[in-house]
């Protein structure tokens, strides 16, 4: 019976860690998109002078300290993201992800102690 409990606990801990990782990854991407929405002229200038997506991505990383994933998300985003309602939704998602990250990290830490 103890082996079953240990297995279940291990499974729950593993799933919690995966969910926490996904939350952190999405949070990272959303931070980059929010940056782009707050600095549209800078982002568009880089995209307009770049020869292709790869050089645009590299220039964004160099100029603003963005990660490759963030820069790629900015390149892939649609112009409607610049609308006020979309920006509001994105900021709400960001705040929700921050709360989820704290809760998930707490759950994982509590289960690791057990």
Where on the phi/psi map is residue 83: left (φ > 0), alpha (ψ -120 to 50), or beta?
A: beta
**Quick check: 1 pLDDT over 70?**
no
Q: Is the model's pTM score more than 0.85?
A: no
User: What's the CATH architecture for 2-113?
Assistant: Orthogonal Bundle (1.10)
pLDDT digits (tens, 9 = 90+) for 49-93: 999 999 999 999 999 999 999 999 999 998 888 888 998 999 999
Q: Which residue has the higher pLDDT, 15 or 96?
A: 96
Q: What is the pLDDT of residue 107?
A: 80
**Quick check: 114 pLDDT over 60?**
no
User: For residues 9, 15, 21 and 25, what is the CA-based torsion angle, rounded to 10 degrees?
Assistant: -160
pLDDT digits (tens, 9 = 90+) for 94-103: 999 999 999 8
Q: Which residue has the tokens 């993201």?
A: 81
Handedness of CA 50, 56, 60, 62 (dihedral sign): negative
**Quick check: 10 pLDDT over 80?**
no
* Range name among 6-15, 20-29, 42-51 with the lowest pLDDT average: 6-15
User: Tokens standing for 26?
Assistant: 């999405």
Domain ranges of the chain: 2-113
């Amino acid at each position: 019976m103890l082996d079953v409990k240990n297995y279940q606990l291990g499974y729950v801990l593993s799933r919690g860690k995966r969910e926490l990782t996904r939350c952190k990854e999405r949070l990272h991407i959303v931070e980059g998109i929010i940056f782009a929405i707050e600095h549209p002229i800078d982002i568009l200038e880089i995209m307009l002078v770049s020869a292709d997506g790869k050089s645009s991505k590299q220039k964004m990383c160099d100029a603003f300290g963005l990660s490759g994933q963030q820069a790629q998300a900015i390149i892939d985003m649609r112009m409607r993201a610049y609308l006020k309602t979309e920006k509001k939704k994105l900021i709400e998602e960001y705040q929700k992800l921050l709360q989820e990250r704290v809760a998930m990290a707490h759950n994982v830490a509590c289960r690791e102690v057990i």
